[in-house]
C-alpha cells in the first residue's frame, strides 16, 4: 500500500520534472529560431555591408546595388508617421483616461480601438489606396505612406498612453487641483511628464513595428525601383523649408528587401540579406531601448 503510494508519487514527480525540461526546450525553439535567423542573415549579408551599400541606388548589377533610396525613404516615412501618430495617439489616450465620461460613445471608442489592433495590416493598405491615393488625391507618395503607417500604429500608441497614465495615483491629480490647477494644467504639468517613460516605450515599439511593415506600403503602390531621392527639406531660397518631399514617390527598406529576395539570382539574395540585417539591427535596437526604458522607469518611480 505504502509502496504503491510512493511509486505513484515518484512517477508524478518524474513527469513534473520532465515537463520542466519540455517547457525550457519549447522556449528555446523560439530563441533558436531567432538566433538562426540573425546568424543566417549575418552569414549571407555581412559581406555586402560596406559604405557603398548605404550610398548607392539600386541597380541591375547586384554588386553595385545599394539601399540609399530605401533608407532615405524609410526615414522620411517614419518622420511623417511619428509626427501624426504620436500627438494623435497621446491626445486620444489622455482623453479616454482623463476626460471620457462613462457613456456609449466612450464604450464604442474603446471597443473600436481593441478591434482596430486586430485588423490585418494589409487592410490598412487597401483603405489607404482607396482613400488617400485616389479619393483625396495624395498619390503614391511619402505622405500617403506615412499616414497609412500612422493609422496602423495609432492603437499601440493609444494603449501605451492609457496604461502609463493609469499608473499615476489619483493623489497626484488631487494635489494639483488643491493648488488651484485646472484639469489641463494638471495633465500638462503632472500627468504627462510622469507618464513620459511609459509613453516613450510604447512609441518606440510602435515605430519599430512601422519600420518593418511592408504589405500596406506595397498595397498603396510604393515603387520597388527608385534611383533618385526625394527633394531636400531645406532649400537655399526663402522660406528655406520645402515640403515637396512629402509628395515624392518612394521605396522603403523592407520593400527593397522583398524586391531582391523575389529575384531568382543568388547575388540579389545576398543584398536582401544585408538589407534584412540592417532592418533587424534597427528593430532589435529599438526594442532593446524600449525594454530598457520600461525597466528603468518601473524601477525608479515609487509612488
Partner 1 sequence: MASNPGKPETTYPSVRELSLQSDVAGLNLQKIRERIIEFSLFLAALSSIAITLGIVGILLYESEQFFTHVSIVEFLTDTEWTVLFANPRYGIMPLVTGTLVTSITALVVALPLGTIIAIYLSEYADHRLREILKPVLEMLSAVPTVVFGYFALLFLTPLLQKFLPALPGFNMLSAGIVIGIMIIPYISSLSEDAINAVPVTIREGSYAMGATRLQTALRVLIPSAFSGIASAYVLGFSRAVGETMIVAIAAGQQPNLTLNPMEGAATITTFIVQVSLGDLPHGSIAYQSIFAAGLMLMLMTLAFNIGGYFLRKKFREIYE
Residue from the set 112, 232, 242, 265 that interacts with partner 1 by CB under 8 A: 112
Taking the complex as a whole, how short is the minimal distance between the CB of residue 301 and partner 1, in angstroms?
18
CA dihedral 292, 295, 296, 300 (to 10 degrees): 180
Please classify residue 104 by burial: count the beta carbons closer than 10 Å to its beta carbon, then call 0-12 exposed, 13-18 middle and 19+ buried: exposed
Of 97 and 245, CB closest to partner 1: 97
User: Applying CB under 8 A, does 262 fall inside the site for partner 1?
Assistant: yes
Of all helices (H) and strands (E), which one includes residue 160?
helix 142-166
* Backbone φ and ψ of 153, nearest 5°: -95, -5
> How many whole angstroms separate alpha carbon 261 and alpha carbon 129?
25
C-beta separation of 159 from 110 below 8 A: no
- Provide the minimum distance between the beta carbon of 50 and partner 1 in the complex, in angstroms, as a whole number: 20
Interface residues for partner 1 in 236-255 (CB under 8 A)?
A: 254
Full DSSP string of 68-109: HHHHHHHHHHHHHHHHHHHHHHHHHHHIIIII--SSHHHHHH
Which of 69, 81, 121, 141: binder of partner 1 (CB under 8 A)? Answer: 121
- State the minimum distance, in angstroms, from the CB of residue 232 to partner 1: 28
Among 65, 94, 143, 226, binds partner 1 (CB under 8 A): 94
The answer to the question of residue 235 lying near partner 1 (CB under 8 A) is no
Distance separating alpha carbons of residues 272 and 285, to the nearest angstrom? 20
Residues between 154 and 213 with contacts to partner 1, criterion CB under 8 A: 154-155, 158, 170, 173-174, 177-178, 180-184, 205, 208-209, 211-213
Spatial separation of the C-alpha atoms in residues 257 and 269, rounded to whole Å:
9
- Least CB distance from residue 44 to partner 1, whole Å? 8
Say whether residue 23 binds partner 1 (CB under 8 A).
yes
Q: For partner 1, which residue of 54, 57, 95, 190 counts as binding (CB under 8 A)?
A: 95
33 forms bridges with which residues in the sheet? none
Interface mask (CB under 8 A) for partner 1, residues 51-80, using x and -?
A: ------------------------------
By CB under 8 A, is residue 26 in contact with partner 1?
A: yes
Among 78, 80, 86, 92, binds partner 1 (CB under 8 A): 92
Amino acid at each position: 500500500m505504502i509502496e504503491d503510494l510512493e511509486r505513484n508519487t515518484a512517477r508524478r514527480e518524474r513527469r513534473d520534472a520532465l515537463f520542466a525540461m519540455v517547457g525550457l526546450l519549447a522556449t528555446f525553439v523560439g530563441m533558436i529560431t531567432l538566433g538562426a535567423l540573425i546568424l543566417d542573415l549575418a552569414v549571407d549579408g555581412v559581406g555586402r555591408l560596406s559604405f557603398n551599400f548605404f550610398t548607392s541606388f539600386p541597380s541591375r548589377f547586384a554588386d553595385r546595388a545599394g539601399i540609399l533610396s530605401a533608407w532615405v525613404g524609410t526615414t522620411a516615412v517614419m518622420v511623417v508617421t511619428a509626427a501624426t501618430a504620436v500627438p494623435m495617439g497621446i491626445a486620444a489616450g489622455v482623453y479616454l483616461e482623463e476626460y471620457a465620461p462613462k457613456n456609449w460613445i466612450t464604450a464604442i471608442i474603446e471597443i473600436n480601438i481593441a478591434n482596430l489592433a486586430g485588423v490585418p495590416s494589409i487592410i490598412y493598405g487597401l483603405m489607404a489606396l482607396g482613400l488617400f491615393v485616389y479619393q483625396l488625391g495624395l498619390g503614391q507618395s511619402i505622405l500617403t505612406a506615412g499616414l497609412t503607417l500612422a493609422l496602423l500604429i495609432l492603437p499601440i500608441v493609444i494603449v501605451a498612453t492609457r496604461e502609463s497614465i493609469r499608473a499615476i495615483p489619483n493623489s497626484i491629480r488631487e494635489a494639483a487641483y488643491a493648488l488651484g490647477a485646472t484639469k489641463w494644467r494638471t495633465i500638462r504639468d503632472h500627468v504627462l511628464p510622469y507618464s513620459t517613460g511609459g509613453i516613450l516605450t510604447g512609441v518606440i515599439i510602435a515605430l519599430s513595428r512601422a519600420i518593418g511593415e511592408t504589405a500596406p506600403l506595397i498595397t498603396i503602390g510604393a515603387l520597388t525601383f527608385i534611383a533618385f531621392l526625394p527633394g531636400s527639406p531645406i532649400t537655399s531660397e526663402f522660406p528655406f523649408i520645402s515640403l515637396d518631399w512629402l509628395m515624392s514617390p518612394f521605396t522603403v527598406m523592407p520593400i527593397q528587401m522583398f524586391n531582391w529576395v523575389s529575384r531568382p539570382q543568388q547575388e540579389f539574395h545576398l543584398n536582401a540579406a544585408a538589407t534584412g540585417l540592417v532592418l533587424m539591427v534597427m528593430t532589435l535596437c529599438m526594442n532593446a531601448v524600449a525594454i530598457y526604458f520600461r525597466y528603468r522607469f518601473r524601477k525608479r518611480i515609487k509612488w
